[in-house]
Structure 1
Amino acid sequence: MKQLSSFFTQVCQRFLPDPFVFAIILTLGIFISGIVFTGHTPVQMVGYWGNGFWNLLSFAMQMSLILVTGHAIASAPFMQKWLPRLAGIAKTPKQGVMLVTFLSAIASTVNWGFGAVFGALFAKVVAQRIKGSDYRLLIASSYIGMITWGGGLSGTIPLLAATPGNPMEKAFGLIPIQQTLFSNYNIFITIALILILPIANRFMMPKPGDIVEIDSKLLESDISVGSHGGAATVERTFAVRVENSKILTYLIVIIGYAYVIYSWVTQGFKVDINTVNLISFITGLLLHGSPMAYMRAITGAAKGTAAIMVQFPFYAGMQGMMDLSGLGTAITHGLVSISTRETLPLFAFLSSGIVNFFIPSAGGHWVIQGPVILGAAHTLGASPGLAAMAIGYGECWMNMAQPFWALPALAIAGLGVRDIMGYCITTLFVSGVIFIAGIMLF
């Protein structure tokens, strides 16, 4: 494992470009493929790209809020005391890697948004506390733990498949979560990932001479910013007292939590990305104690959203070309056409992994691949629940080679994609065995 991860790390360091450049290369690849393999003209492909380019603006904002609100929570005084205590469970660098992977996987199983931020923040604390820890591997471990989210409680595809009004309901009906999230195969895969990946990551620990510890600059506190962009005012004027009012903080926090409870009572218990962001937002405000203390924390975290703002539109453009040109459907059709009842879930898994390079979004996968995969499952007599989950598994699996979802963790960590991708690609092989075993054995 150590040799394999070292090999892939060296390859990534030499050949993997910055995620923004990677997104541009993928865009050009899809553009040319649409012309060559689907017969569309360059003008049509340009139109598809432009029509999709801004389709992820809402999602980009959601992801930015996940990043900044999660970072603000971690920087609160209460969390600065609690996270180190939790990190204290690990006594050695190898134990630190295992702990980060395990807790990140658990958190991502509960909710992917929470897991995305918690894992990176916790890895940073572990790197600070345990001397001799490889910072790159710790951050990679936090991202690797996210591989469980597709089969977790916030898994997009199983929740969509069970939701009335989803695009597949009229043709194929609803797929209850008893056939997806709470199935034997999903329980096996999820538990296996949670237990095996921490052990696998432990064996990726670099040799002592190759370890890269956390940069002390990353531990420096962000400069406090006042309400007018300069240093915080110390004079106790009326404006300053209002800006630091605990009463205002508690009132808005009460309203925020009241709305969350109200929505669960009236609409049923549901935790989606907006719910996570609202809870994270008001919890961070509560922990910091005043509006301006919270704003200073948000200001320090917001600088990490640059990659999200720049790259998400390019992936939206890719999704537009893959969807409107029919290229994504063609890839899925090609693999499904050679499937049998027994092999359909495997080919659905593999095709989802391929499509994920260009559409790293479970919702996008469901729109493009859902009709083809479920149609084939209906024709061949295969399990629709397993077929649907195979799409979700393929998306999570190939995230280990696709840096899109690593952007929030990298922004928090202050690292580049080349620092972690070698470890993630090694995990691609380990987790692939687990996913395929679960898909084919049940």
Structure 2
Amino acid sequence: MHVFRVLTNASVKMVQRYLPDAFLFAVILTFIVFLGGIFINGKSPMEMIGFWGGGFWSLLGFTMQMVLILITGHTLASTDICKKGLRSLASLAKSPGQAIILVTLVSCVANWINWGFGLVISALLARELANQVAKVDYRLLVASAYSGFVVWHGGLAGSVPLTIATENHSMQDIIGIIPTSETMFSAMNLTIVIAIMIVLPMVNRLMMPAEKDRIVFKGEGAAVEETAAGAEAMDANSPAAKMENSKLLSILVSLMGIVYLVSYFAEKGFALNLDVVIMAFLFLGILLHGTPRKFLDAMNDAVKTTSGIVVQFPFYAGIIGMITASGLAATMSQWFISISTPTTFPLFTFWSAGLLNIFIPSGGGQWAVQAPIMLPVASELGVSHAKVAMAIAWGDAWTNLIQPFWALPVLALAGLGARDIMGYCLMLLLVTGTIISLGFLIF
């Protein structure tokens, strides 16, 4: 335990010293890919700039989804009933160690169900635990809340296994339709998920710093302003004020959203996706806040947390544009193919996917780049297509632990920066990488 804590402290100090702000991290990755396309794939600087600019706005729809899930999740959590629920859940932890274990378990389960739901719920639980449990290190608490995200692509909302189980997917001519029984519900995948859910809480608990080195939560903060403080004064008896404070309007519009969601689940089963999660957060928030005015005030407060996403996601879209259009992603995948055997091919596919994910932090984007390269090779080597598909999926999820792209919603809700948690996440990357690698070698 002492050795592990020493290693963790060294990792934390290294990251705090050398890891730049999350925005600068995206800028540095931009230059790395730009130069890689020129010197490795022989593209001209103007070609690389064209690829970058062409991709720069390609994630606008997804950026809006991430902004909305952050805002609506924050707004829902600020309702009285959700605050009570989070307090009740947080009250189960009576010590710093228990708080770390609890938030890790909740994060793992919630992210296995749906990653959008898991990111928001675990971050909000971390804040509540920090309020209730004395002397818990807030950085590790938030890192633990984020750590469960590593299981998402092996879970119910995993985009790769769901895609290849659907008619007319892009790789159907090569691999056919692969049912989820062979991917997310296979013995290999379930073993990896269960092993991570068992090991991750223990590892997070072992990383807890000595009491003298802990950084504790400072509370909700005096910096939170009254959202309506600058609002124009309004006559409480005016028609506009009455509408803004009308519970009837909130109830009616909420019922429309809830009826739609009920009909959706009745037709498609428990098929959560990002749009459905956002819609549920939105209309439950409107209903539980009681009046449009209270809901809008909570929304105004939540919007302040979204600046990192708005600024950084276009840069990642530009990186994806460069690394894909230049052929650099394909070149990187071929490096791993060249040293593979039928036994090691799934493992090397996982490692290559993990490397590419640092530059293409999008499950769908990475699948579009790697699947046409890896799956035909799997056919030639006689390796299971389902196993290779899950190798790409797990690689995409694994290095999210050190990719600020996905941590931004959690960090925004927690009020921390990437440097605060990435030292712990680096240790978790090594541990989970070992578990997942063993899974692909053993099965």
RMSD over aligned Cα, in angstroms? 1.4
Q: Which one of the candidate residues 109, 113, 121 is aligned to 1:110? A: 113
Match of 2:84 in 1: 81
Whether the 8 Å contact between 1:192 and 1:434 is mirrored in structure 2 is yes
Q: Which one of the candidate residues 3, 7, 13 is aligned to 2:6? A: 3
Whether the 8 Å contact between 2:147 and 2:401 is mirrored in structure 1 is yes
Pair 1:269–1:78, CA change in 2 (3 A): closer
Q: Which one of the candidate residues 126, 130, 148 is aligned to 1:127? A: 130
Match of 1:327 in 2: 328
- 2:271 matches 1:270: yes
Give the drift of 1:268: 5.5
Q: Which one of the candidate residues 73, 76, 82 is aligned to 1:70? A: 73
**Distance in 2 of aligned mates of 1:5 and 1:30:** 30
For structure 1, which segment, 418-427 or 269-278, has the greater mean C-alpha deviation from structure 2 after superposition? 269-278
Pair 1:84–1:268, CA change in 2 (3 A): closer
Match of 1:17 in 2: 20
For structure 1, which segment, 308-317 or 376-385, has the greater mean C-alpha deviation from structure 2 after superposition? 376-385
Give the drift of 1:216: 2.8
* Pairing of 1:28-43 with structure 2 (within 5 A): 28-43=31-46
**Distance in 2 of aligned mates of 1:80 and 1:266:** 32
Match of 1:391 in 2: 392
Match of 1:59 in 2: 62
Match of 1:211 in 2: 214
Match of 2:50 in 1: 47
Pair 1:232–1:196, CA change in 2 (3 A): farther
Match of 1:252 in 2: 253
Whether the 8 Å contact between 2:161 and 2:389 is mirrored in structure 1 is yes
Q: Which one of the candidate residues 174, 178, 182 is aligned to 2:181? A: 178
The Cα offsets for residues 287-338 of structure 1, whole Å up to 9 and x where unpaired, read as: 1111111111111011111000000000000000111111001111110122
Q: Which amino acid aligns with 2:37?
A: G
Whether the 8 Å contact between 1:20 and 1:311 is mirrored in structure 2 is yes
Whether the 8 Å contact between 1:83 and 1:125 is mirrored in structure 2 is yes
**Distance in 2 of aligned mates of 1:198 and 1:245:** 45
**Distance in 1 of aligned mates of 2:259 and 2:56:** 37
Give the drift of 1:238: 2.2
Task: Give SS of 2:136's match.
Answer: coil
Match of 1:288 in 2: 289
**Distance in 2 of aligned mates of 1:177 and 1:365:** 20
Q: How many residues align?
A: 440
Whether the 8 Å contact between 1:335 and 1:348 is mirrored in structure 2 is yes
Q: Which amino acid aligns with 2:109?
A: I
Pair 1:283–1:373, CA change in 2 (3 A): same
Give the drift of 1:266: 4.3
**Distance in 2 of aligned mates of 1:175 and 1:244:** 52
Pair 1:232–1:331, CA change in 2 (3 A): farther
Match of 2:441 in 1: 440
The Cα offsets for residues 263-302 of structure 1, whole Å up to 9 and x where unpaired, read as: 3444565211111111111111111111111111111011
**Distance in 2 of aligned mates of 1:419 and 1:58:** 29
Q: Which one of the candidate residues 226, 235, 238 is aligned to 1:223? A: 226
Give the drift of 1:170: 2.5
Match of 1:307 in 2: 308
Match of 1:169 in 2: 172
Whether the 8 Å contact between 1:109 and 1:151 is mirrored in structure 2 is yes
For structure 1, which segment, 172-181 or 413-422, has the greater mean C-alpha deviation from structure 2 after superposition? 172-181
Percent of aligned pairs sharing the same letter: 44
Whether the 8 Å contact between 1:304 and 1:412 is mirrored in structure 2 is yes
Give the drift of 1:22: 0.7
Whether the 8 Å contact between 1:224 and 1:232 is mirrored in structure 2 is no
Pair 1:221–1:377, CA change in 2 (3 A): same
TM-score (norm 1): 0.97
Whether the 8 Å contact between 2:236 and 2:242 is mirrored in structure 1 is no
- Unaligned stretches of 5+ in structure 1? none
The Cα offsets for residues 159-181 of structure 1, whole Å up to 9 and x where unpaired, read as: 11212222111332222111101
Match of 1:428 in 2: 429
The Cα offsets for residues 348-375 of structure 1, whole Å up to 9 and x where unpaired, read as: 0000011011111111110000111111
Whether the 8 Å contact between 1:51 and 1:317 is mirrored in structure 2 is yes
Match of 1:241 in 2: 242
Task: Give SS of 1:20's match.
Answer: helix
**Distance in 2 of aligned mates of 1:183 and 1:234:** 62
Whether the 8 Å contact between 2:378 and 2:388 is mirrored in structure 1 is yes
**Distance in 2 of aligned mates of 1:267 and 1:139:** 34
Give the drift of 1:220: 6.7
Match of 1:195 in 2: 198
Whether the 8 Å contact between 2:120 and 2:410 is mirrored in structure 1 is yes
Pair 1:58–1:440, CA change in 2 (3 A): same
Give the drift of 1:233: 4.6
**Distance in 1 of aligned mates of 2:171 and 2:292:** 44
Pair 1:326–1:361, CA change in 2 (3 A): same
For structure 1, which segment, 265-274 or 39-48, has the greater mean C-alpha deviation from structure 2 after superposition? 265-274
Match of 1:368 in 2: 369
Pair 1:81–1:217, CA change in 2 (3 A): closer
**Distance in 1 of aligned mates of 2:382 and 2:322:** 32
Task: Give SS of 1:400's match.
Answer: helix
- Unaligned stretches of 5+ in structure 2? none
